[in-house]
Structure 1
């Protein structure tokens, strides 16, 4: 089961990156009606949330700038962005680097119980599984937003 989870990690992230790369650069900052954010935000949010869930960002890892929490955490939005905001291409590079670190997670750590349940997850492997679910959820938003934006531009 743990090998399947680790394989799913690579599949999910690779598919996410491929889909983000297929979005025209001119569309990533558009916030279509009915959506709270734009594609750019979703990419940063997936990166930041995964870093938080799997690597303890911002306290226990320095792989991302601390201001990513202010930009991409739950409840944030592009309308409030101030200062240096990384481009989608930078975020995609960081997603690739993060995947390499994810692939280094020891299989035996997946069964380690969390100190206290988080989002209903009791073991680290369950948290990894939740991160993958979360990533796929946001990929769906990105795909929907892309279609809406492209339809509105016609």
Structure 2
């Protein structure tokens, strides 16, 4: 079962990367009416939340700058961003690097109980499954945004 989780991450993340690399630059920072976030934000959010869930960011992981929580964490939006934010190219590079680290997670760790239940998950494997679902949800948001932006 644990190997299946890693395979699922590989497939989901591969589809995520393939999809975002095909989006034209002019669509990345368009804010659609009625939505709080842009495609650029969704990309950073997926990266940041996966790092939080799987690697304990920002307390136990130093692979991402700490300000990513303020830029891409839950409840954030591009309207509140400071002048400087990481480029989509930077985020894609970090997502690819994170993918490699995900594949190195020991399969035995997926059966470990969490110190306390989180988001309905009691084991690290359940939390990892939630992270996959979260990523695919945002991929759907990205896909819909891209279609709406490019077909105006």
SS of structure 1 residue aligned to 2:151 = helix
The equivalences for 1:103-118 within 5 A come to 103-118=103-118
In 1, Cα distance between equivalents of 2:36 and 2:80: 12
- 5+ residue gaps, structure 1, are none
Please state whether the residue corresponding to 2:139 is helix, strand or coil: helix
Match for residue 49 of structure 2?
49
Q: TM-score, normalised by structure 1?
A: 0.97
RMSD: 0.7
User: After superposition, where does 1:95-106 map in structure 2 within 5 Å?
Assistant: 95-106=95-106
Q: Which residue of 2 aligns with 1:22?
A: 22
How many residues are matched?
Answer: 152
The secondary structure found in structure 1 opposite 2:117 is: strand
How far did 1:33 drift?
1.6
| Gap regions ≥5 residues in structure 2 | none
Q: After TM superposition, where is structure 1 displaced by more than 3 Å over at least 4 residues in a row?
A: none
Aligned to 1:145: 145
| Structure 1, 28-37 or 135-144: larger mean CA deviation | 28-37
Task: Return the offset for 1:116.
Answer: 0.4
Which range moves more in the overlay, 141-150 or 32-41? Answer: 32-41
1:34 to partner: Cα distance: 2.3
Aligned to 1:134: 134
- Compute the displacement of 1:84 (Å): 2.4
Deviations 1:11-46 (A, max 9, x none): 010100000001001110001122210000000000
Question: Helix, strand or coil: the match of 2:122?
Answer: strand
Residues 32-41 or 42-51, more deviating: 32-41
Length-normalised TM-score, structure 2: 0.98
Q: Which residue of 2 aligns with 1:31?
A: 31
**1:83 Cα shift?**
4.0
C-alpha distance in 2 between matches for 1:47 and 1:26: 21
Distance in 2 (alpha carbons) for counterparts of 1:36 and 1:16 = 21
